[in-house]
Amino acid sequence: LISGLMASTTIAAGAADMTVGFSQIGSESGWRAAETSLTKSQAEERGIDLKFADAQQKQENQIKAVRSFIAQGVDAILIAPVVATGWEGVLEEAKDAEIPVVLLDRQIDAPEDLYLTAVTSDQVHEGKVAGEWLVKDVGDAECNVVELQGTTGSSPAINRKQGFEEAIAGHDNIKIIRSQTGDFTRTKGKEVMESFIKAEDGGKNICALYAHNDDMAVGAIQAIKEAGLKPGTDIKVVSIDAVPDIFQAMAAGEANATVELTPNMAGPAFDALEKYKADGTEPPKWIQTESKLYTQADDPMKVYEEKKGLGY
């Protein structure tokens, strides 16, 4: 009992002593705003001094923030990397300064020894779950899909595209007829959907929208309505994140399915850092979060109420 108590005291002391820098991408989506608020509240609960930097969607700002965290001598750094490439240099600098780095919600193309762990979903799987839902829903009917991609060069945009394509491969009745980035935002999601509708006979040639996040889907739903069509019926809507607003849209019959991504990436990240700081325990290189499918059959308003309390 005594040694158990001592162990937990050591871990708690490690957490309370920690100063952690967090380079966040920005606030392009409801999901990202929730991730930020949960990271701040998780840090507060654990007595971690969190230094927060909003990069306004720019990798160069993230690199500057990480350099400034290194100069301040923080104990650890969290990075939600806006794009997948271009991280080696600054991660080498963190490694030289012996500051562990944890990646949040997006992966990078860099050697694994440059970071302690990555807390992310399996983004290829998320795309697959979305695609498999559509395959099942349309059956043998012909279905032209338009796709709203996330930020160009980001791991979720690359992987969610790949997963969806894998799911529909071999189903020749389902075709992606247009695909463009909407940068994970509602505004661009709406704009790009308007252009898809215009180009596809006022939307009559479109059977389904696949959006790499819910915010773009919500913007697109507005565009579909403004074009005089019924989202969820005339054009099926499947997306990823499970933010509260998509459940409202599902309850109204205007969205069909979403794949959940937890905004609580910081919880597992801080757990891993606390253990690492306490006794050097190395976490696995990938801490994978779950990806659950929700449809209109899942009592969307109940889920909406539950979600509202969870950082949103």
Considering the rule CB under 6 A, would residue 261 count as an interface residue with ligand AHR? yes
Considering the rule CB under 6 A, would residue 213 count as an interface residue with ligand AHR? yes
Considering the rule CB under 6 A, would residue 307 count as an interface residue with ligand AHR? no
Nearer to ligand AHR, 31 or 304 (CB): 31
Considering the rule CB under 6 A, would residue 29 count as an interface residue with ligand AHR? yes
Q: What is the largest CA-CA distance in the chain?
A: 73
Considering the rule CB under 6 A, would residue 236 count as an interface residue with ligand AHR? no
24, 32, 247, 274: residue in contact with ligand AHR (rule CB under 6 A) = 32
Parallel/antiparallel/unpaired status of strands 76-79 and 101-104: parallel
Q: How far is the CB of 216 from ligand AHR (least distance, A)?
A: 8
Q: Which window, 24-32, 133-141, 203-211, 251-259, contacts ligand AHR (CB under 6 A)?
A: 24-32
CB of 277 closer than 8 Å to CB of 221? no
* H helices present in the chain, as ranges: 2-16, 30-46, 59-72, 88-96, 123-138, 155-168, 186-199, 214-226, 244-251, 266-279, 300-308
- Dist. CA 60–CA 44, nearest whole Å: 28
- Dist. CA 36–CA 206, nearest whole Å: 35
- Dist. CA 276–CA 279, nearest whole Å: 6
State phi, psi for 148 to the nearest 5 degrees.
-105, 110
Distance of alpha carbon 106 from the chain centroid = 7
Token pair recorded at residue 152:
């160009």
Nearer to ligand AHR, 48 or 216 (CB): 216
The residue whose Cβ lies closest to ligand AHR is: 29
79, 145, 220, 240: residue in contact with ligand AHR (rule CB under 6 A) = 240
Nearer to ligand AHR, 211 or 227 (CB): 211
Considering the rule CB under 6 A, would residue 245 count as an interface residue with ligand AHR? no
Query: Taking the C-alpha atoms of 124, 274, 90 and 104 in order, what is their torsion angle to the nearest 10 degrees?
Result: 30
Q: Which window, 27-35, 136-144, 244-252, 272-280, contacts ligand AHR (CB under 6 A)?
A: 27-35
Considering the rule CB under 6 A, would residue 268 count as an interface residue with ligand AHR? no
Binding mask 41-70 for ligand AHR (x = CB under 6 A): ------------------------------
CB of 245 closer than 8 Å to CB of 258? no
Q: How far is the CB of 39 from ligand AHR (least distance, A)?
A: 13
Considering the rule CB under 6 A, would residue 108 count as an interface residue with ligand AHR? no
164, 184, 210, 247: residue in contact with ligand AHR (rule CB under 6 A) = 184
Phi-psi region of 193 (alpha: psi -120 to 50; beta: other; left: phi over 0): alpha
Q: Note the residues at the interface with ligand AHR (CB under 6 A).
A: 28-29, 31-32, 105-106, 156, 184, 213, 215, 240-241, 261
